[in-house]
Structure 1
Amino acid sequence: MKACNERRVCVTGATGYIGSWLVRSLLQQGYHVHATARDPGKAQRMLSTIEGIDRLQIFRADLNEDRSFDEALKGCVGLFHVAALMEFGTSVQENDHVRRNILEPAVWGTRNLLQSCMRSGTVKRVVFTSSISTITAKDEKGDWKPVVDESSVTPASLVWKTKNPGWVYVLSKLVTEEEAFKFAKENGIDLVSIIPPTVAGSFLTPTVPSSLQVLLSPVTGDPKLYPVLVSVHSRLGSIALVHIEDICRAHIFLFETSRAAGRYLCSAGSCTLPQIMDIVSLELPNWISKSSKVEFNRSAPSIISSKRLLDLGYRFKYDAKDVIKESIQSSIGNGFLNSQVEFKV
C-alpha cells in the first residue's frame, strides 16, 4: 500500500451544489480535501472563503479525459463521486444519440475514475452519489407500493419508453451507478452509494442550484422545470426532501461507517405538491401562483423509507418542512425569488 493520509479524501464535482457543500463539511470535520473540477478557477472562487481552506487542494479533472483523476487521488483514502450531468431540459429524443453522446461517455467516465482509484493504491472506500430518479413508488402493474426503499429501482426500459421530463438524467444515473457497482465488484473496490431525493436549503454556488429551482417551480411557474417536479411527484406520489447539510453529513457517515454496504436512501421526509404549496403560502402570503392547476392527492400514497440508513445509526437534523422554508429564504436572499415571483400589491 502506498503512503496515504488517513484524513485525506477526494471530492469530484466540487463546483456543484452537493460537491461544494460536501467540501465545506469535510473541511469542518478536519479532513484534507482534494477537490476536482473541470474549471479549477471557478472552484477556487467559490470555495475561497470557507473555513479550513489551508487543508484544501483544487485539481483540474474531467471524467472524459483518460487518467485525469490520477493526480487528485494520490494519497487519498476515500473518494466521494458527486459529479453528474444535471441537464433536465434536453429536447433530444433520438435513442442512438442519447446512447452514443451521453450514456456511453458517462459509463466510460465512471470506469475511468474508478481505474484512477485502483492506480492510487490508497483509496479504501468510494461513496457514489446516486439519485432518487433511480427509484419508483409503483410496482409492475402501476399500483402504488406501500413502502419505497432502495430495492424499488426504476426500470431503464420504462424510462426509454415514457421519456418523461428529465429522462436522460434518470438514465445517466441508472447506467453509471450500475457500472460503478459492477466495476467495484470485479476489482475489489469497497463502494457504497447514497440516494439523495430533492436536495435543498442553503447553498454556496453563485446561482440557485437546479434542485432548488425545480422545488420552487410551483412558485416561479418555470415552464421547463415545473414538469420535472410533476414527473417526480407522479413517479413517487410525493416530493422526497433532504437538507443540503444532512445529505453531506450522510455522505461522510457512510464513508466512516465500516459496516455500510450497498445502497442507502437518504430522505428526511416527503410532501405532496398541495402540502408544499401550503408551506409556500405561509412563507410568501402575497405571492401569485404561475403554475398550472393540476390536481394532486393531499396525502402521499407511499412511504419513502430511509430505514436502512437510520438502522445504521444516522439521524437527520432537518425535516421536510425545514427544507422548504430554508430554500425559500435562501432564494430570497440570493435575489432569485424576488426576480421570478409576482406578488399581490
Structure 2
Amino acid sequence: MAPSFDITSHTVCVMDASGQLGFSLVQRLLQRGYTVHASIQKYGEEDLFNGVSADSDKLKIFRSDPFDYHSIIDALKGCSGLFYSFEPPLDQPNYDEYMADVEVRAAHNVLEACAQTETIDKVVFTSSATAVVWREDRKTIEPDLDEIHWSDVNFCRKFKLWHGMSKTLSEKTAFALAMDRGVNMVSINAGLLMTHDLSIKHPYLRGAAEMYEDGVFVTVDLGFLVDTHICVYEDVSSYGRYLCFNHIINTQDDAVQLAHKLAPTASSSLPQSGDHGKSFIEQKISNKKLNKLMVDFEA
C-alpha cells in the first residue's frame, strides 16, 4: 500500500450495502476509519445498520436503485471510491436468460454515474470466477486459467450458464464504459462465496460438477473477499482483473462435504465420492496476481 494513502480523508460508497458482502464491507471500512455512503435498494434495510457506527457522521445511508441514474449520483456525491456489487432486483431474484440484460443495464448506469462524479478516483467492481472459467477450450488451456481469460458468452448461452453469461457481459460492459469515460476501474472475480445461508439454488453452482472435473471449482471466505476489495482499492498499483479465491474443491472429500452442506438429501448435481475414480483433481486455475498484491496488505 502506498505510504501516502490517507484513509481518514476518503469517503467511499458501497453499493449494494445490504448484501452480505456489502454489509461486511461497510463494517470493515468504518473500522479502518473511512467515511461510508451505504447504498441500499429496499425500504426497511436501513435497520441493518443500527449501531454499526458509533460516529453518525461516518456513516450515511442512501436508497439507490441501480436502474435510477439520479439516485446513484446522489449516493456517489463527495465520494472518492465506489465498491459495487450487483444484487438481483426483488421482482427477478433468479438468474435466467434475461438476467444478463438486467445486470448489464445496472452496470452501465453505475459506471456512467461514476464518470459524471468528478471526485471518484477508483471503482472496485465485484464480478465472478464464472466470468473466467466457461470456455470451449478450458480443458486444454496452458498454462492455468487466470484473469486474462474470459468466459465465452455463446458457450454460456448454449449450456444455460446464466450466471456466467450475466457476469461476463456486465463486467465487459463496465470495463468498456470505464475506458471510454476515463474511469479507473478494477474488478474482482470472486469464487463461490461461502456464507452460512448458501444453498443448492445459488446460480454459481450450475455446472458445479464440470467445474470440479476441470479443476476450477473455487470458493472464497467472506473475510478474505472483503480484505481483497479493500486491498485493491488502497493499493495504487492495482489494475485490471483479479481472480479471488482461497480454496479449491478438488478432492472427493471436499466435494462430498460441500454437497452435504448445500443439500443433504438432494445433492445429485454436485460431484460425488465415487466420481471419476480419482481422489484428487489437478488445480487448473491461478490467483497469483492477487496473492502478489496482498503480500503487504494489513487487514
TM class by shorter chain equals 0.7 to 0.9
Contact 1:194–1:251 (CA under 8 A) maintained in structure 2? yes
AA paired with 1:123?
A: I
CA positional deviation for 1:89: 5.0
Give me the whole-angstrom Cα distance separating, in 2, the residues matched to 1:174 and 1:107: 9
Indicate the percent of aligned positions where both proteins have the same amino acid: 28
CA positional deviation for 1:142: 4.3
TM-score by length of 2: 0.82
AA paired with 2:132?
A: I
Q: Number of matched residues? A: 280
Contact 2:88–2:94 (CA under 8 A) maintained in structure 1? no
Distance 1:141 1:181, change over 3 A: closer
Give me the whole-angstrom Cα distance separating, in 2, the residues matched to 1:160 and 1:273: 29
- The corresponding residue for 2:226 is 248
AA paired with 1:115?
A: E
CA positional deviation for 1:288: 6.3
- The corresponding residue for 2:147 is 150
- The corresponding residue for 2:243 is 265
Aligned partner (choices 36, 40, 48) of residue 33 of structure 1: 36
Give me the whole-angstrom Cα distance separating, in 2, the residues matched to 1:288 and 1:258: 45
Q: How do 1:60-139 and structure 2 match up within 5 A?
A: 60-85=63-88, 89-90=94-95, 98=98, 102-136=99-133
Aligned partner (choices 213, 227, 235) of residue 199 of structure 2: 213
**CA-to-partner distance for each residue in 1:44-86, whole Å, 9 max, x for gaps?**
2222232446211110111111322111111100001112339
Whether 1:191 aligns to 2:167 is no
CA positional deviation for 1:161: 1.0
**CA-to-partner distance for each residue in 1:247-306, whole Å, 9 max, x for gaps?**
01110100010011100011112123622256579x99xx96542384254322333211
In structure 2, the residue corresponding to 1:127 is in which secondary structure?
strand
Give me the whole-angstrom Cα distance separating, in 1, the residues matched to 2:136 and 2:296: 29
More helix by share: 1
CA positional deviation for 1:316: 9.3
Give me the whole-angstrom Cα distance separating, in 2, the residues matched to 1:29 and 1:307: 26
CA positional deviation for 1:148: 2.0
- The corresponding residue for 2:3 is none
Give me the whole-angstrom Cα distance separating, in 2, the residues matched to 1:58 and 1:171: 32
**Which residues of structure 1 form unaligned runs of 5+?**
203-207, 215-223, 318-345
Measured on the aligned residues, the alpha-carbon RMSD in Å equals: 3.1
- The corresponding residue for 2:208 is 232
- The corresponding residue for 1:46 is 48
Give me the whole-angstrom Cα distance separating, in 2, the residues matched to 1:200 and 1:131: 13
CA positional deviation for 1:139: 5.7
- The corresponding residue for 1:169 is 163
TM-score by length of 1: 0.72
**Which residues of structure 2 form unaligned runs of 5+?**
1-7
Give me the whole-angstrom Cα distance separating, in 2, the residues matched to 1:122 and 1:291: 48
Contact 2:135–2:155 (CA under 8 A) maintained in structure 1? no
